[in-house]
Amino acid sequence: MPVRPADHGIVSASGAGGFDMEGGARSSAGGYNYQTYTATGTVTVIGEGVVDLILVGGGGGRDQSYLGLWGEQWQGGGGGGGVIYATGVTVTASTPTVTIGAGSLTDTLGGNSSILFAGWNLFTGGGGDGGMGYTNCQPGASGATSTPSSPYVTVGGAGGGGGEQPGLCGGWFGSGSATSTSGTGSGGGTWSTLTSGNGKNVSGYNGYGGGGGGATANATSGNGGAGHTWVDGVVYSQGGNDGGNSTAPQGGYGSGAGSDNASQKGGNGVFIVRWPA
């Protein structure tokens, strides 16, 4: 599939055959229209068309500024939000509400994203927050999950990394939460779910917390797990790195917060739909 370069502003023209969408922001590239929803609201589908889509949960956070430099450095990274994507889905006129999960700025899970679209209840969970370091040595939190009414596609968020205090203790990792599908939607197409990764546990001797899990992989040592690169070339839901090497978020929407000596926010979730221009 074509890869989307940088957005080039708002495009008002509808797609082939009179199909169109409203709400969110419009961009156009590579022969496709992209409708991007970054906040909770109404998704307006006009006519009938065949689309590709991605839904991403909010990234897990971390906030340890009150413990000072070392406490911040020893906290684990946040986990990435869950990811669902699909191609060749037929949609018809409708006005569903999309909920977009916010990235967390504190020691809490990222927000969940959801929508009833093409006959499916779609749910992507928020990523788990990074475990507190210093004398607490907390484990990373597991990603959020839920089971909507059937038919549904649900992907839980990735787990956060464990916190530590060097030479004293180390926290366990948070787990990536479940992926499941039930029933059959009305729009056909090819649907894909990603198994969210686990965060990384730490021994208490390496000097930094563990990385957060990503949309497609477990964290490795202090590095956050890999995110998912969609057809637009953007990386979604990468895990947050540990306190030794991170900036936050490391990837695009849905990425976990990095634990880099400052309070950092996980990336917000997003819903994107594309179709031929």
3-state secondary structure 214-270: CCCCCCECCECCCCEECCCCCEECCCCCCCCCCCCCCCCCCCCCCCCCCCECCCCCE
Give the model confidence (pLDDT) of 251-261 as tens digits: 579 999 886 54
Supply the Cα-derived Rg of the chain in whole angstroms: 19
pLDDT band at 68 (very low <50, low <70, confident <90, very high): low
Give the model confidence (pLDDT) of 163-184 as tens digits: 887 778 888 889 999 899 999 9
Residue ranges of E strands in the chain: 20-22, 25-29, 32-37, 41-42, 44-46, 49-56, 83-91, 97-98, 113-117, 120-124, 152-155, 164-165, 169-170, 179-182, 190-193, 228-229, 235-236, 270-276
What pLDDT, on a 0 to 100 scale, did the predictor assign at position 81? 95
Could you identify the residue written with the tokens 């961009």?
Answer: 27
| Interacting residues of 68 by C-beta distance below 8 A, sequence separation 6+ | none
Give the model confidence (pLDDT) of 3-39 as tens digits: 333 333 333 334 456 899 999 999 999 999 999 999 9
CA distances from 189 to 52, 85, 156, 177, 184 (A): 9, 10, 22, 25, 11
What pLDDT, on a 0 to 100 scale, did the predictor assign at position 111? 96
pLDDT band at 215 (very low <50, low <70, confident <90, very high): confident
| Dihedral in degrees, nearest 10, Cα atoms 228, 236, 103, 259 | 80
d(CA 146, CA 126): 10
Domain boundaries, the chain: 54-84+98-277
| Interacting residues of 185 by C-beta distance below 8 A, sequence separation 6+ | 118, 119, 120, 151, 153
Give the model confidence (pLDDT) of 111-153 as tens digits: 999 999 999 999 999 999 988 877 678 889 999 999 999 999 9
What pLDDT, on a 0 to 100 scale, did the predictor assign at position 90? 97
Closest CA to 93 of 193, 13, 14, 183: 14
Reported pTM:
0.89
Residue 246, pLDDT > 90, answer: no
CA distances from 241 to 9, 26, 88, 168, 247 (A): 32, 32, 35, 21, 8
What pLDDT, on a 0 to 100 scale, did the predictor assign at position 4? 36
What pLDDT, on a 0 to 100 scale, did the predictor assign at position 9? 31
d(CA 236, CA 4): 14
What pLDDT, on a 0 to 100 scale, did the predictor assign at position 8? 31
| Beta-bridge partner residues of 55 | 84, 271
